[in-house]
Amino acid sequence: MKQPKKRRFQLSERQLGYAMVAPSIILIAVIIIWPIMLSAWNSLFDYRLNDPAKAERISSLSINLETYADNRYLVYDTMEDVRDAMPDAGGTLDDITTALDEQHETLLNTDEGLADRYEEVNTMLDNFQPVNDEELRLVEVPEEWADGFANTLEEQTAAVQGLREGAPEEAVQPLTDLESQLSNTQGSILEPNFVGLKNYSTYLGDGRTWTAMLNTLLFTVVTVGVELAVGLAVALLINRVFIGRGLVRAAVLVPWAIPTAVAAMMWTFLFDGQSGIMAHYMAQFGLIDDPGALLSTGAGGMFSIMFADIWKTTPYMALLLLAGLQTIPRSLYEAAEVDGANKFQQFISITLPMIRSAILVAVLFRALDAFRVFDLIYVLTGGGPANSTESISVYAYKLLFEQQNFGAGSALSVIVFLSVALLSTIFIKLIGSDLFSGRLKQ
């Protein structure tokens, strides 16, 4: 039976299979899985970009030479200003200088070549260049030195505070600056900020996380449920044969074709309590008490968000189901008709079972999207009023980009990931087990 091979070189079926899978896997691994793992790693640190002492992941006690050199320069500069404004502070300032110099010498002697690195950093700073090279910027320091340095800084800060009393007017500003600069210098010592699962315990114990989680869950269940029901009806409708079917299909898809960012803007316009047409009609038909309630109350806000999402995403669901309907051979219906089954019976016994896998894929992916809802809420309500519409992604976004708390934001993202993974596993196990087993045959 075997055909003689036509070419000398040919991949076996299995090799071909791996070759065909490879591009997807490589893309997904590089673009998505790697960032996920990075986030998971970040979530184990107290990692905040707007705090110089925590702006990188540090696993052993180190000093940031950039911060150190910069502040050292400023401290000495400001001390000159103080000296000018307050000549009788000279003695104290000399003491401070001696103490700081002593620490500086010790630091430079802790490691060979450190003095050169310090000089290099200093030169870069003089030229306003950033020190991007981590190898150059970060130096591990012994604990004794760091402790001693912290003590010195504390003592000198106290000494500066002592000078404040009886200081002439023009010395007040330099003294305040000097104090800040000394405390900034302390910020160059980077303590290890690995905190293990602390971010998780903090945010799992926080009421706001759970409110956001519940909001997200409610949003997911309601929107996906309604979208499935309406989407199925729409799919059945546009699957019928009638004049102008193409146009109706295109029309039904219009909501989905409007970019979410634009649609969300459009809905703020339509839901507006003063001039929004939707709010106006809803109030007129007695659906809501007054047009203002839509976006300014928690329940109204949640309703508006869900409504806008259902309007926009139902076509997506309908399209997926419509494609599923196409895979049903017409002969099945013809046979059922011969057997005398009515339309409803046909729907239950043929349509539903045949599009089951389409429904599963549609619901699964819609639910994954809905659980990560972001743009719509961010534009429509920003999570308000009183945080009653905040979703978990919106919360994570605020932590990551508004507050620059990368550790906490990553932890929340991982929590979303785990919840979604759990939910979809349960979903696949309960309803969709054939989805996997079906695939796995052969």
Q: Which of residues 279-308 bind another protein (CB under 8 A)?
A: 280, 290-298
Cα separation, 353 vs 117, in Å, equals: 71
Q: Tokens 């550790």 map to which residue? A: 407
Q: Based on CB atoms, which residue is closest to another protein, 32 or 109?
A: 32
- Number of residues lying near another protein (CB under 8 A): 150
Closest contact distance (angstroms) between CB of 144 and another protein is: 21
Q: Which of 260, 336, 349, 350 binds another protein (CB under 8 A)?
A: 260
Q: Based on CB atoms, which residue is closest to another protein, 78 or 215?
A: 78
| By CB under 8 A, residue 382 contacts another protein | yes
Cα 346 to its chain centre, rounded Å, is: 46
Q: Which of 44, 68, 69, 78 binds another protein (CB under 8 A)?
A: 78
Q: Based on CB atoms, which residue is closest to another protein, 120 or 369?
A: 369
146-154 CB contacts, 8 Å cutoff, 24+ apart: 146/61, 146/63, 146/189, 148/103, 148/106, 149/103, 149/107, 149/189, 150/186, 150/189, 152/99, 152/100, 152/102, 152/103, 153/182, 153/183, 153/185, 153/186
Q: Which of 114, 204, 323, 336 binds another protein (CB under 8 A)?
A: 323
The residue among 320, 294, 318 whose CA lies nearest residue 305 is 294
| By CB under 8 A, residue 18 contacts another protein | yes
The residue among 185, 195, 410, 389 whose CA lies nearest residue 294 is 389
Give the binding range for another protein (CB under 8 A) out of 89-97, 114-122, 141-149, 266-274. Answer: 266-274
Q: Based on CB atoms, which residue is closest to another protein, 145 or 311?
A: 311
Which x/- pattern over 335-374 shows residues binding another protein (rule: CB under 8 A)? ----------------------xx--x--xx--xx--x-x
∠ CA 279-285-287 to the nearest 5 degrees? Answer: 65
Q: Which of residues 36-65 bind another protein (CB under 8 A)?
A: 36, 38-39, 48-55
b or e along 321-351 (b: 16 or more beta carbons within 10 Å of the residue's beta carbon)?
Answer: bbebbeebeeeeeeebeeeebeeeebeeebb
Q: Based on CB atoms, which residue is closest to another protein, 112 or 128?
A: 128
| By CB under 8 A, residue 150 contacts another protein | no
